[in-house]
Structure 1
């Protein structure tokens, strides 16, 4: 695996345990504050957890753990350096210092360097630069290989060689462009991608009011024999009201099978701009990351003209707006409605969500036989794995019970009233699993479910998928129930079950 070099001389420097390190800027995407994280059982010790980074699941690695030095409490100075290895990873550091430029001739070998870091993790050293006596260049490739080589080395190598080739050919490829339609609202310029826009029409003579509707709903109009709800962008952005005049326009947006008219002060122009001029809005400006109405900024006229690009899906999230949109949807026949319901069900999966050690997990509802309280006493079974708490008699059937905390190598917890036994069917065997609490039955759209990042073999077997509910700020790990027990463990449980049934 090779680090793609944007500039061989550019490095970002950071501090760990009082020493200064640097990594090449090329694979680095950004530097962020330490986000909220979800812990992953059966993962490498260096993995602190998973975080949500603008809709993507970001694994975060503690470099202190990798370097086998004492952990440090996360504070205001702590940062996560986000690096792209084909899969995006975050590295926790004590503090980020600066970006430096270094002449290759100043990079020396590390053979004589004494550091908290093993020499295998260093690829060079820079002396007397940017006010530092010595800056050690980390070999991120080596760190990555040590932590995840079992599952990723081949995949990531291929991804980086492919990325390198793209970079080398970039100058020969035509510049990718995006088409936007820009308009004014309260003298500020906004834009919407042209693919979201059906048409632009003038304000009609008559607008039908919608009783008891949200302030942003102006009313409804007839557009070629179809009802079109009208929404004020001024009201959505909490700007002062303005009387509709001849300059105002209605930008007709497409929302699947529905259309909505967005009322703006005036339409300015159709823009065709290079993607290089468009960048995500800085996260510090987001009120609620992942749900902001403005997602990107387009810089024109050398940065003198800024155009805010609107996310149509985030703009019209309000409950009352959705109710109005639903109320004006064209009537469907009973057959069409039934078909729509079937399609909607097919596009979702149903899960039972539960918690262990304050982390959320889910199992498909089809694998859950029932959920029962934990009895006061469980019958111990000799010659079974440590995580088997015992067995209970469930309506005449001997049910083995497993402590899921022990199965996930987590600290034990005293019994309480909230704990439950989830009875799952694994390879035709009913097995009970003790969890801290069962939260809910949740329908999750398939579009929110993605393949989990493989961090270790056992973790990948147990948690093959993850549900990323970014609007709710939740990352739910989906358990592959058939892999909760190994084949030999199932055989032992079946044998113990048969022996107990004979005794009874």
Structure 2
């Protein structure tokens, strides 16, 4: 081979080796995203960063959760838990503040949000710039996987381990459904029939019990002392002649905190009486908010929140106009042992209550119906099955021109147009601006759907046939101008636990819908 040909061959070989080395180096180079937490800089493999979002305006606090779990928020139909990385390293670190960023990590189809102070940049990191942190044999690996050294050793980044971040104890694991076709198929399969629940607030968070679990919702009665009173049990109440333990729901969520005393001045507090297995348990809550209807696929997953009473959490119902509500599985709140102690203990310790129950059963008769009570100048009751749901009054009501004076306007409720009726105006009552307690009762019949604006919703009560009476003729006289009472065919009269009596005019939504169908012009009907 001639000397020029040999030189050309050598040059080609060197070039090929250079290309191969460059390809190998490029293959070994990895992309990382950097984030700041105070003065410290962290890095995550770009492949596991799904997106970065601003701190959500609405974060739902999770009960029984560790300090490093900031809460959860809903992102395009998926519940994302947020881990406060600062508190993970230092429990005394502060909470999230406006301006923080949340990096959504997706690893092994699990989604978790990491809270940082700010974002950095996208980095291309070569193998020699990376180092791996070695843990002692048998030790549990931490969330720091290694380091990246840049700028000739003047810049150090700590590499976070995505595999460990999604497995932090008591942080819920939420699976990511990537295929929209799969989501639609699962939605169609899970749709099922419509369900209803009653939402309430406790410890600053909204929860809900399914309607089937609730026997009654009442104002806080005078509680009787009980030797079983402790961290959870406030005492006992007389419920239809039987002793029922009253549990402080906030203390239940606080995992060991002492039960708080009943605040007689708090007009919002309620007692929710629920049936759990074969036992009746009452819960003291801060307030009862509304009735929500939902389908199976509306319940977003929030798996294990805590080892304590983890079975009570059924999922999250996300409502853009009202906020997130944690749906509870009432059957998983207490262990069988706890239920037996509360039920059998009270029955054995207070046999007199049991005797009163037996005597009461002999004197009472007839079937029971469940009613929702509300206020509109006076106290009214409506059979709860006539109410689709309850929502807070909203200013997002559009009033079309030419609508009658008693029609407040039209409300877009989850892509359903609802005509909102001002009940005060319809029945000639004095005008009153809607307040914090005002509610809209959503009623429907077939394709007809209305929202009834009332002053406030009070309780859910169970009424015996013997407690319902035909309304007096004088009250039902249309010519007498008795307003809503003129349309009440029945009156409920029942004795409260304190011995006083209370009465309600029974309102029939069907009659109102008939009336509105005749009054409203066709274009104003929903």
Report the TM range for the smaller structure's normalisation.
0.5 to 0.7
SS in 1 for 2:348: helix
CA distance in 1 between partners of 2:94 and 2:321 (Å): 29
Equivalent residue number for residue 299 of structure 2: 449
Change (3 A) 1:402 1:386: same
Compute the displacement of 1:177 (Å). 13
1:367 aligns with 2:213: yes
CA distances 1:310-362 after superposition (whole Å, capped 9, x unpaired): xxxxxxxxxxxxxxxxxxxxxxxxxxxxxxxxxxx963101111111332111
User: Residues 16-31 of structure 1 correspond to what in structure 2 (within 5 A)?
Assistant: 16-31=37-52
SS in 2 for 1:70: coil
Equivalent residue number for residue 35 of structure 2: 14
- 1:48/1:60 contact within 8 Å kept: yes
- 1:372/1:421 contact within 8 Å kept: yes
- 2:249/2:283 contact within 8 Å kept: yes
CA distance in 1 between partners of 2:180 and 2:230 (Å): 59
Compute the displacement of 1:498 (Å). 1.4
Equivalent residue number for residue 114 of structure 2: 91
- 2:35/2:120 contact within 8 Å kept: yes
- 2:79/2:300 contact within 8 Å kept: no
> RMSD across aligned C-alpha pairs, in angstroms?
3.6
Change (3 A) 1:460 1:489: closer
Change (3 A) 1:368 1:76: closer
- 2:55/2:99 contact within 8 Å kept: no
| Structure 2 unmatched runs, 5+ | 1-26, 354-526
- 1:384/1:493 contact within 8 Å kept: no
Question: When the two structures are superposed, what TM-score results if normalisation uses the length of structure 2?
Answer: 0.53
Equivalent residue number for residue 282 of structure 1: none
CA distance in 2 between partners of 1:488 and 1:466 (Å): 28
Whose Rg is larger?
Answer: 2
User: Residues 94-113 of structure 1 correspond to what in structure 2 (within 5 A)?
Assistant: 94-110=117-133
1:378 aligns with 2:223: yes
CA distance in 2 between partners of 1:428 and 1:385 (Å): 22
CA distances 1:224-247 after superposition (whole Å, capped 9, x unpaired): xxxxxxxxxxxxxxxxxxxxxxxx
Equivalent residue number for residue 57 of structure 1: 79
Change (3 A) 1:423 1:473: closer
SS in 2 for 1:418: coil
Equivalent residue number for residue 200 of structure 2: 354
- 2:87/2:94 contact within 8 Å kept: no
The partner residue of 1:485 within 331, 334, 342 is 334
SS in 1 for 2:201: strand
Equivalent residue number for residue 205 of structure 1: none
CA distance in 2 between partners of 1:69 and 1:140 (Å): 21
Change (3 A) 1:120 1:452: closer
- 1:41/1:409 contact within 8 Å kept: yes
Change (3 A) 1:69 1:373: closer
CA distances 1:42-73 after superposition (whole Å, capped 9, x unpaired): 23432211101012111111112222343224
- 1:392/1:398 contact within 8 Å kept: yes
User: Residues 124-203 of structure 1 correspond to what in structure 2 (within 5 A)?
Assistant: 124-129=146-151, 133-147=155-169
Compute the displacement of 1:414 (Å). 6.4
CA distance in 1 between partners of 2:91 and 2:326 (Å): 29
- 1:385/1:489 contact within 8 Å kept: no
- 2:309/2:332 contact within 8 Å kept: no
CA distance in 1 between partners of 2:193 and 2:51 (Å): 34
1:421 aligns with 2:442: no
- 2:143/2:160 contact within 8 Å kept: yes
- Count of aligned positions: 310
SS in 2 for 1:490: helix
The partner residue of 2:145 within 123, 142, 148 is 123
SS in 1 for 2:331: helix
Compute the displacement of 1:450 (Å). 3.3
Change (3 A) 1:444 1:148: same
The structure with higher relative contact order (CA 8 Å, sep 6+) is 1
Equivalent residue number for residue 246 of structure 2: 401
- 2:42/2:160 contact within 8 Å kept: yes
| Structure 1 unmatched runs, 5+ | 1-5, 113-117, 164-175, 179-194, 196-255, 257-344
Change (3 A) 1:25 1:8: farther
Equivalent residue number for residue 307 of structure 1: none
CA distance in 2 between partners of 1:177 and 1:457 (Å): 33
Compute the displacement of 1:452 (Å). 2.8
CA distances 1:400-438 after superposition (whole Å, capped 9, x unpaired): 100000000087586211000000001111111011111
User: Residues 225-304 of structure 1 correspond to what in structure 2 (within 5 A)?
Assistant: none
CA distance in 2 between partners of 1:94 and 1:407 (Å): 33
Compute the displacement of 1:111 (Å). 6.9
